[in-house]
Amino acid sequence: MPNYAILGSTGNVGLNILRTLADQTKSNTPDRLQIKAYVRSKDKLLSLYPEASTNQHISIFAGALHDIDNLGRCLDGVDAAFLTVASSDNIPNTTIAQDTARLVVEALAKLRKQQNDRYHPPILVVLSSTSTSEYLSRNDGLSSFAHTVLWKAASYVYEDLVLAEKILRSYQAEHRGLFRMAFVKPGGLVVDAKQGHVLSTEGSKTFTSFADCAGGMVEIAASPDPERWDGKEVSVNSAAPNGVALTLSTGFTLMWFLLQGLLFHFVPQSYKWVKG
């Protein structure tokens, strides 16, 4: 009974999840496959993925995340919800992941109250980063200096992800049976073709494509054993033996991301100057 919600469907990862699931609607998947795409802007989604308006399996939910009723309609009855709302920039004091976690739990708690025995707890497949896991990143091939630089370049993003995970873990303990959750913690992600993915609770590998990360998240969501990934941190790695090779343009993008992130870390006011 595959029925999925994607929060952040216009993002690198969210859009790849939408594409991956939409592709399944064209193969031999049961008719009941339903994909609910939550976005801030329907126009943006349709410009990135026009098929979202013609594929009968896709419903679009546009609005602010704070619209709990809209969010609740999107989450109603789903088997899995992909939480990919994120900040890629190192925005000082961002709380986007924490806000998403709180709002999703609030919407689910409201649904359970309304539905009682009919309530169907989904698994939340939460996009995070291997940098937030000492265990997964212990053997990722990066030096401790590189880890330190990375932590500073994405300090606000990672702090937000760590706190969001704490919030979800404590909500899950408090509201038993409301949801299951898996924290997806890939290493570096880049734009590249699908090469196949491997899920791992033992370690992460850099680089993996956004498309393969999406494939791994869909595999978690579709697991026939609902307990299989509950509470786990899972890395999605490229199935290619040496991961995805970095192109020159991706290398420049990465360098820009690091420099900008370091600037925002050490001089938070500069975010306004640079981003306006």
Ligand X SMILES: NC(=O)c1ccc[n+]([C@@H]2O[C@H](COP(=O)([O-])OP(=O)(O)OC[C@H]3O[C@@H](n4cnc5c(N)ncnc54)[C@H](OP(=O)(O)O)[C@@H]3O)[C@@H](O)[C@H]2O)c1
User: Can you give the binding site for ligand X, defined by CB under 6 A?
Assistant: 8, 10-14, 40-41, 44, 65, 84-86, 88, 96, 127, 129, 157, 161, 186, 188-189
**Residue 90 and residue 153 in contact, taking contact as beta carbons nearer than 8 Å:** yes
- Residue 2's φ and ψ, nearest 5 degrees, are -70, 120
Closest contact distance (angstroms) between CB of 130 and ligand X is 6
E strand map for 13-140: 34-39, 58-62, 80-83, 123-127
Nearer to ligand X, 119 or 135 (CB): 135
Closest contact distance (angstroms) between CB of 251 and ligand X is 13
Closest contact distance (angstroms) between CB of 56 and ligand X is 23
Closest contact distance (angstroms) between CB of 162 and ligand X is 11
Nearer to ligand X, 84 or 237 (CB): 84
Nearest residue by C-beta to ligand X? 11
Nearer to ligand X, 105 or 112 (CB): 105
Nearer to ligand X, 10 or 155 (CB): 10
- List, in sequence order, every residue forming a beta bridge with 3; answer none if it has no partner: 34
